[in-house]
Amino acid sequence: MHTTTSVFDTPGAVLLTAWCVVMWAAVAVLTRTRHRRPPWAYRLALAVTAVGLVGQIGHVQEHVAQVIYWLWHPNDPGWMTPLGDSLARGYGQLTGTDPAVGMEVLHLVGNFIFLAGLVGAVLATRHVASSSAHRWARMGVIMQGIHGLEHVALTVTAAAGLPPVGLSTWFGLLDAGPGLWTYRVWWHFLANVVGTIVFTVVVAKFWRERHRVGAAWAELTTRA
C-alpha cells in the first residue's frame, strides 16, 4: 500500500461513507413505510437496488485487479488500485489509524453498500407472490450479510491492534506472509464474484417480472 497522501483521500472517504449512510437511511424509510405503501416507495426501492449494483460493480473491479496483480506477483502483499489506496488512506486519516486499518474500513463500507442494494431488491419485490427475483435477493442478503459480518470482525480486530480475525485469515491463525496474502486475495475475490453473480441474477429475474412487480405495487398503492 502506498503512503503518499493526496488532498482527495479524506474527502473521498467521507463521500463514500455518505453514500453508504444515505442508502441505509433509505432502507430504514422503506422498512418504516411497509404498511402505508406510499407511491414513491417502489421507486425508492428501485433506486437503492440500482445504486447498490453500481457500487458493487466498482467494488468487484477492485478485487479483480488484485487477482490480476497477484498472478504476476504471487508473493507480494495484496495490491490495491490507486483509487482504493487513496480511500484506504482517507479512512486511516478519518479514524486516526494507519492505512491498513483504513483498508479494512473501506471494504467494510463497500460491502455494506452492496448489502443495502440487495435489501433494496428484497423490498422492491416483496409484494409479488412466488417472485423468483425475491427469492434470489433474499439468498443474496443472507450470503452478503455473513460476508459483511466477517468484515465487521476484520475491522474491529484490526482497529484494536490485533491480527484481523475472519474467515479470510483463518480467524487470525495465519501468519503474515505470502500464504495469508494469497488466501485473502482469493477468498475476497471469490466471495465478491459469487455475490455479484447473484445480484446479476436478481436484476435479470426482476426484469422479467417487472410488469408483475409494478402491477402489484400499483394495486397496493391504490388500496392504501
Query: pLDDT digit string (tens) for 107-136?
Result: 999 999 999 999 999 999 998 888 999 999
**Rounded-to-integer distance, Cα 198 and Cα 195, Å:** 5
How would residue 176 be classed by pLDDT, with cut points 50, 70 and 90?
A: confident
Q: Which domain holds residue 64?
A: 9-223
- 3 is a domain residue: no
- The single residue listed with the C-alpha cell 479470510 is 168
Q: What is the mean pLDDT of residues 17-22?
A: 98
For residue 223, pLDDT beyond 70: no
- 151 is a domain residue: yes
Task: Give me the number of domains the chain comprises.
Answer: 1
Percent of the chain past pLDDT 90, that is, above it, reads 80
- 96 is a domain residue: yes
How would residue 64 be classed by pLDDT, with cut points 50, 70 and 90?
A: very high
Confidence at residue 218, expressed as pLDDT on a 0 to 100 scale: 87
Per-residue burial over 116-139, b if 16 or more Cβ lie within 10 Å, else e, is: bbbbbbbbbbbbbeebbbbebbbe
- 4 is a domain residue: no
For residue 204, pLDDT beyond 90: yes
User: Do 147 and 195 touch, CB atoms closer than 8 A?
Assistant: yes
Q: Which residue has the higher pLDDT, 153 or 222?
A: 153
- 204 is a domain residue: yes
For residue 224, pLDDT beyond 60: no
Confidence at residue 66, expressed as pLDDT on a 0 to 100 scale: 96
- 30 is a domain residue: yes
Q: What is the mean pLDDT of residues 21-33?
A: 95
Q: What distances in angstroms separate CA 133 from CA 27, 123, 127, 183, 192, one per listed residue?
A: 18, 11, 11, 32, 19
As a whole number, the mean pLDDT across the chain is 92
- 175 is a domain residue: yes
